[in-house]
Structure 1
Amino acid sequence: MKNLIQILSAMVVVAAGFTSQARSIQYTGVQATVTKVHVSEQFPYVAQMPWTQGRIQVNYLTNKVNLHLYGPTGQCPDGAVCFAPTYSATISLDIVNQTIGRCGNTVVGQTNPNNPKKPNFIETLVVTDYSNIECRLMPPAITVVQYYYKDGTTENPIGHAFFYADQLVPYLGN
């Protein structure tokens, strides 16, 4: 009987060791699928491409806002299905501000004005989530992404674009 109690207590200790190793699932951030794109005419790079869809990601682990855009390369007639390669572009900016309010939760990502890759230009991504609003407002989509491209020396806007997306949902991964 004494041996049985010792064996059972050893099994309990081993089982407790395994359960203490379990980890809870932690989400990396939130993401949504872009369903509509509106680009200003004066936008140099973004307006030239026929962007049709994309994905917005707010990554809290890396503290970045990523906008991935996709569009077809070839001309495809209306109603036809074309299997062509797609253009893709990624805009990845650091999160500089995040606010939670009654009229939407907003995350702002912006480049550093002293960025050596794009000197004298400031890119800004503003992601607003309207899924839990409590004020009288009729947003165009559940998630609205605004992209601004400004001259860094004069702060004059060069171009802007609006991207309308589905609801932001948690995701795991990069």
Structure 2
Amino acid sequence: MKKIVLAIAFSFVCLMGINAQSQRVHEQIYNSSYKTASNPSEETGVRKLAAFKVDAITYLVSRTLAELSDSTAKHSAEDVRHLNNQLDSMAYYMYDYVNLFTKEYSKATTLKGQNRVMKIFRDASVNHPLYNDNDKELVLAYFNREDYLTQFSLDTDWVKALAEAKEKLSK
């Protein structure tokens, strides 16, 4: 009986550790990206990719905080948990999205191939807004920037955008 109790207690501690780590996904990606973006010894292109990730996570955090601080909304503990989980999920999928984009873009051997990859990812990001934010100057800050490879909307449902990009890449 003592072994069963110890096994259950150990499982609980492990689950709590996993849960605590998953709650900080956006912070881990932010910190790693910020470190890269602010490192002058990194290549400019790598720093710009990291800067986009920092800005995208900052945007997601600000929208989440705005929702949580809305005094007219009564948020249950479940609502708060959902918003925090959504923040971490979006951060993770944005990270995956940018990494898949850079992988596919670098694999393209022709300008036509690179333009195809760019169009797929640009369109997917703008086709799937998460918040329907009216501040287009903010959410499209990278979208028409020729000096950044990550020409994506900040207001993106990264899960849906990633699914669309993968589907179009397979065609």
Give the TM bin, normalised by the shorter chain: under 0.3
User: Who wins on radius of gyration, i.e. which is larger?
Assistant: 1
Q: TM-score, normalised by structure 2?
A: 0.27
More strand by share: 1
Q: TM-score, normalised by structure 1?
A: 0.26
